[in-house]
Structure 1
Amino acid sequence: MNLFDTIRNTLVPIHKEGYVFVAAFFVVSLILGYFAEPLFWIGLVLTLWCAYFFRDPERMVPQDDDLIISPADGRISHVAMVVPPAELGLGSEPMLRISVFMNVFNCHINRAPVRGEVTRIEYRAGQFVNAELDKASSDNERNGLVIRSRHGDVGVVQIAGFVARRIVCWVKPSEPVNAGERFGLIRFGSRLDVFVPKGGQARVTVGQLALGGETVLAEFGAAKGPTVSRRT
């Protein structure tokens, strides 16, 4: 990510989900500052971090139904063939799974990886182990969506991590979504798994950084020319 991308994704509005947290951090800072001035400055830094965490940047989303777009900012932590969680109803055959790990400094807005219709949403309680671990897909608290796309059903799983304690999902079954459309967030460190239908080829590698709504995770068919993008 270059300097322009860093600035573009920092000086942005705060999502409304973060208002109460930013206000709470600031009030606590004032209270602490009443007793000791250095504590106020420490609290102010944490308040600014909280505002940064809940930032909601616009993205230039590729408009191509042959592409699977990253649903989150972060680092590609896994690219492998894995049997999807049973609750998604995607069958027992392995599917290409691409995982994006978000640390506490990444933007945590989650975006739809494809255009289609949400056909299923399934929540599962679970543990809160490090979301980077492979077993987090099956052991951790998670919320799974299935989006029926042009190329078949795409699974998207929000996974809570060691710090995260709250998964938020704004869409409902039978709702249409556009690629790059905001559908939820996970508070304070987590991971997104994307299960790609048969025929999709990975276009990322482990360790690569991804931007939600912009980075192409996988593609169907042969590579094409430039793709039109839409700001959202």
Structure 2
Amino acid sequence: MRIAREGLPAIGGMLFMSLGGWFVSPALSAVFLAVLCFLLWFYRDPERRPPENPALWVSPADGRVVEVEVTEHPFTGRATRVGVFMSPLDVHVNRVPWDGEVTYLQYMPGKKWVAYGPKASAENERFCLGMETAAGPALVVQIAGLLARRIVCRARRGQHLTRGERYGMIQFGSKVDLYLPSAVRCVVSVGQKVKAGETALGVVRNEKE
């Protein structure tokens, strides 16, 4: 199983403590080993294969859809916002929903409300990644939750990202919002379970729609 690179320092440190703890107390070493196993599981980064249909926009996160609503954002204009809540049990690596060039990056400090709550998208600590795509401007927002303590976004302004590509993660329970351009029709509903890089959240509208 591949491990997300953000977890390597913590995993390496806990491995060292597990080995060192053995010389102090086998029981203490066992506790450290249990934590090590949890970290290895939490930072798992399985391979994902996007759908063959190139018109499908994929989920940026594993989890459950908690919001679908039409809204406005300064970067995207009118858009459909799809909120995906990641519980501590879900894979926390985030992926790019569609091909595009990164043109907007903004970190916004904020509160630590429960991520699936309605206030989280507007008031919690978050990091916005905006992309220019063939279907129009799109936005992915990583939102910290009650347990989340670190948002990681690897993308750089001017970088070209492809559908399903890893671009960051949020550590320990959180939410990701995807703002779909008006040219993309949402194909999921609240309560649906999704997987990052695989489950379609939207499809580019055809000329008849």
- What TM-score comes out, normalization by structure 2 length? 0.90
SS at match of 2:131: strand
SS at match of 2:106: strand
Q: Deviations over 1:21-55 (max 9, x none)?
A: 11223344456665554443233222111111111
Work out whether residues 76 and 181 of structure 2, in 8 Å CA contact, stay in contact via their aligned partners in 1.
Answer: no
TM-superposed deviation, 1:82: 2.5
Q: 1:47 to 1:151 in 2, by over 3 A?
A: same
For 1:161, the equivalent position in structure 2 comes to 145
Instruction: Give, in whole Å, the separation in 2 of the partners of 1:214 and 1:138.
Output: 27
Q: 1:32 to 1:129 in 2, by over 3 A?
A: farther
Q: 1:37 to 1:133 in 2, by over 3 A?
A: same
Paired residue type of 1:13: R
1:75 aligned to 48, 64, 67, which one? Answer: 64
Q: What aligned pairs does 1:1-232 form with structure 2 within 5 A after superposition?
A: 12-30=1-19, 36-84=25-73, 86=74, 89-91=75-77, 93=78, 95-221=79-205
TM-superposed deviation, 1:187: 1.3
TM-superposed deviation, 1:198: 0.8
Unaligned runs of 5+ in 2: none
Farther-moved stretch of structure 1 (64-73 vs 187-196): 64-73
TM-superposed deviation, 1:212: 0.5
Instruction: Give, in whole Å, the separation in 1 of the partners of 2:15 and 2:112.
Output: 27
SS at match of 1:24: helix
Q: 1:216 to 1:26 in 2, by over 3 A?
A: same
RMSD: 1.8
Work out whether residues 142 and 151 of structure 2, in 8 Å CA contact, stay in contact via their aligned partners in 1.
Answer: yes
For 1:4, the equivalent position in structure 2 comes to none
Q: Percent identity?
A: 37
TM-superposed deviation, 1:158: 0.6
Instruction: Give, in whole Å, the separation in 2 of the partners of 1:36 and 1:48.
Output: 18
SS at match of 1:83: strand
Q: Deviations over 1:153-173 (max 9, x none)?
A: 111001111111111111111
Instruction: Give, in whole Å, the separation in 1 of the partners of 2:57 and 2:116.
Output: 21
Work out whether residues 108 and 127 of structure 2, in 8 Å CA contact, stay in contact via their aligned partners in 1.
Answer: yes
Work out whether residues 63 and 179 of structure 1, in 8 Å CA contact, stay in contact via their aligned partners in 2.
Answer: no
- What TM-score comes out, normalization by structure 1 length? 0.82
